[in-house]
């Protein structure tokens, strides 16, 4: 690492990933959403965002099991981003406990999600405790399994 480079905290990247996800859910193209990310964060955020989008169907199914109601969009985006990155430990870009810790830190440090930080913490800690059972219970959900919207196609 160059002497002038500083390591970017994961919580900052997760905040940006959640912002990108929220923009995409609102109909903004991924390219445009990523273009709004500060240049120093963009490479890491892009890599994490692509991984989140590849597992978003699973993450949303897990969130439905963890929360009775959908949280506000900023909190939902952060929670789903963390779940998408952590649901399969062998594919996680960081240790799962680190992802959970940093997602909660990201929630605490953002005005848009600080009120839901305890909720996000509770959901993610429960996910850690019950991961195998929660993932198994989403295996029959076609959107979770194939990460593709299911339109009720018939055979």
Q: For residue range 114-144, list pLDDT tens digits in order.
A: 999 999 999 999 999 999 999 999 998 888 9
CB-facing half-sphere around the CA of 121: CA atoms within 13 A: 12
Distances (CA, A) of 5 to 1, 40, 73, 120, 135: 6, 10, 33, 31, 38
Given a cut of 90, whether residue 104 has pLDDT beyond it is yes
pLDDT value of position 151: 53
Q: What is the mean pLDDT of the chain?
A: 92
Spatial distance between the Cα atoms of 52 and 54, rounded to a whole number of angstroms: 5
153 vs 58 pLDDT, higher one: 58
Using a pLDDT cut of 70, give the percent of the chain over it: 92
pLDDT value of position 147: 85
Given a cut of 50, whether residue 38 has pLDDT beyond it is yes
pTM exceeds 0.95 for this model: no
Question: Tokens 């240049």 map to which residue?
Answer: 39
pLDDT value of position 23: 97
């Amino acid at each position: 690492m160059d002497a002038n480079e500083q390591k970017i905290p994961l919580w900052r990247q997760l905040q940006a990933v959640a912002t990108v996800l929220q923009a995409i859910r609102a109909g903004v193209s991924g390219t445009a959403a990523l273009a709004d990310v500060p240049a120093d964060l963009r490479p890491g955020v892009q890599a994490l965002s692509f991984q989140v989008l590849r597992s978003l169907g699973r993450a949303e199914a897990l969130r439905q099991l963890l929360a009775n109601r959908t949280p506000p969009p900023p909190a939902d985006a952060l929670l789903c981003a963390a779940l998408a990155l952590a649901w399969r430990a062998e594919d996680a870009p960081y240790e799962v406990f680190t992802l959970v810790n940093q997602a909660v830190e990201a929630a605490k440090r953002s005005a848009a999600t600080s009120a839901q930080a305890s909720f996000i913490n509770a959901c993610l800690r429960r996910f850690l405790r019950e991961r195998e059972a929660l993932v198994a219970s989403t295996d029959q959900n076609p959107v979770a399994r194939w990460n593709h919207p299911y339109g009720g196609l018939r055979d």
